[in-house]
Homo-oligomer: A and B are copies of this chain.
Amino acid sequence: MVKRWNTAKKVAEKAWEMGRSDPRKVVFSAKMGLALTLMSFLIYLKEPFKDMISYSVWAILTVVVVFEFSIGATLSKGFNRGLGTLSAAGLSLGIAELSKLAGDWQRLMIVVNIFTVGLCATYAKIYPTLKTYEYGFRVFLITYCFITVSGYRTGEFLDTAINRFLLIALGAAVSLGVNICIYPIWAGEDLHNLVTKNFIGVATSLEGVVNHYLQCVEYKKVPSKILTYQAADDPVYNGYRSAVESTSKEDSLMGFAVWEPPHGRYNKFRYPWKNYVKLSGALRHCAFMVMAMHGCILSEIQAPAEKRLVFRSEVQRVGIEGARVLRELGSKVKKMEKLGPGDLLFEVHVAAEELQRKIDKKSYLLVNSESWEIGNRARDDEETHPQQGLFHTDEERKFLECKSLSEAVLDLRTLQVPPSWEGNPAIDASPNMFRKELSWPDQIYQKSKPVPKEGQESKTYQSATSLSLTTFTSLLIEFVARLQNLVDSFEELGETANFSDPLDQPPPL
């Protein structure tokens, strides 16, 4: 009993929270109640209209079915319903007149007709290009069958059709009136906000991925939800996932938004909602790179922490600048403003170029020169600079301070080496050995003592771990390259949607 009470309390709390976070939902429900109430006033009708009540079901049906959350959806459903009803009424009246001529065969003809119409309408309904009118076909079928069947009984095909149509029109009028006149909810507005939200989400993910990578955050165990691409609680993952997953939501919102008349800030006939979806697609194209970068964190092959530190400031700067560009574009979309004069991408391009230079200079850190066929670079070098080894600057020496961190972090799971590999003589690196090697970075890089022969395979892994850093930086640079396409899409949207020019605004006095 207490348990039930608690469950009920929890549900009520959640429902309250839903209403608080999006009051439009409460308003929508109240509007629906109001529309139904208006319909129920039919019961106050006096003679000679009292008979209308027997048709009241059509008005109620129309309200319940047509009344949707957004205006676009309501209009599109209303249009479908209207068209379906009218064409079905026309067809059924025509066929009814014909069937009267058939005399004794009238009933058989009606039955055969219903089969034919049912088959054709259903087949058309699942025809791909007509799929948006699916609801219209349903209404068509209902109306056609109803008029034919009930008209046969009463013989008053026309009366049935007209009464039905009048009440459907009444229901549709009430739905539209209540939905548009009282606190309208626009699908276009929702689409606009969704696109803005996606920008913020990807920016957050990018920052998260870059920071986690530099802080060597590693998943103890990758959540199986991420491995099977389900929704999870991880904010870094959620940011890009929701942007990637919003395709179908955007498409349906766009489908409704095109039905909406010009309103508020979207005061243009044939508003280019398509471009919002396109912009979001371009953002998705960038988000895939963030996703791939996140893949580097999820991966079992992890770059050593001390190497990441070498590129720290450059990678961080690209991450910060990239996220800034995304946030800036997101806020421009939100404010419906064109880009300012300067080049939005200038900073991020400079940062990426700097990262590229740094990689260029230090690319010896990204590879394992010991096994080169052409001779060992590292050893040559040590002969010329015996005190320094490979590490010249203070920055690079930081890796020594970070050693304890790397021991904690580079905890390679045993998943790495599947049992069946052990049978293969060429590959006998056990995960333990691999781990040991990784926690002694000085031994590997500075070669202060000879490495035992059995370490050969683990060096192959070792090289893979360094290449993982290359992958991360390359993906980051590719992400920056894709920003250009995003900006182009944004500018196209700005042009077609007549975004305001920030320069046109009156200068502050």
Contacts and interface: CB of A to CB of B under 8 A. Distances in A.
Interface of A: 14-15, 18-19, 25-26, 28-30, 32-37, 39-44, 50, 53-54, 56-57, 60-61, 64-65, 69, 107, 110-111, 114-120, 122-123, 126-128, 138, 141-142, 145-146, 148-150, 152-153, 226-230, 244-245, 247-248, 278-279, 281-282, 284-285, 288-289, 291-292, 295-296, 299-301, 342-343, 345-346, 349-350, 353, 356-357, 359-364, 366-369, 371-375, 377, 380-381, 384-385, 390, 392, 415, 418, 420-421, 424, 426-427, 459-461, 463-464, 467-468, 470-471, 473-475, 477-478, 481, 484-485, 489
B359 A363 contact: no
A314 to B, nearest CB: 13
Contact of A374 (B292, B364, B464): B364
A258 B284 CA distance: 32
A245 B246 CA distance: 10
Nearest to A389: B374
Contacts of A485: 227
Contacts of A284: 228-229
A371 B418 CA distance: 40
Contacts of A120: 29
B364 A114 contact: no
B153 A111 contact: no
B373 A363 contact: no
B464 A467 contact: no
Contacts of A152: 43, 53
Given A64-B145, A295-B478, A359-B464, 16 more contacts: A18-B127, A43-B153, A56-B149, A60-B145, A227-B485, A228-B282, A230-B281, A292-B475, A300-B481, A349-B418, A356-B461, A361-B371, A363-B367, A364-B367, A377-B380, A471-B474
A13 to B, nearest CB: 12
A36 B57 CA distance: 21
Nearest to A123: B29
B367 A33 contact: no
Given A353-B427, A372-B364, A420-B343, A36 B141 contact: yes
A317 to B, nearest CB: 15
A356 B56 contact: no
A356 B415 contact: no
Given A367-B364, A415-B484, A33 B64 contact: no
A290 to B, nearest CB: 11
Contact of A34 (B25, B54, B115, B123): B115
Given A468-B474, A470-B470, A295 B289 contact: yes
A460 B35 CA distance: 67
B122 A29 contact: yes
Given A127-B15, A475-B292, A360 B150 contact: no
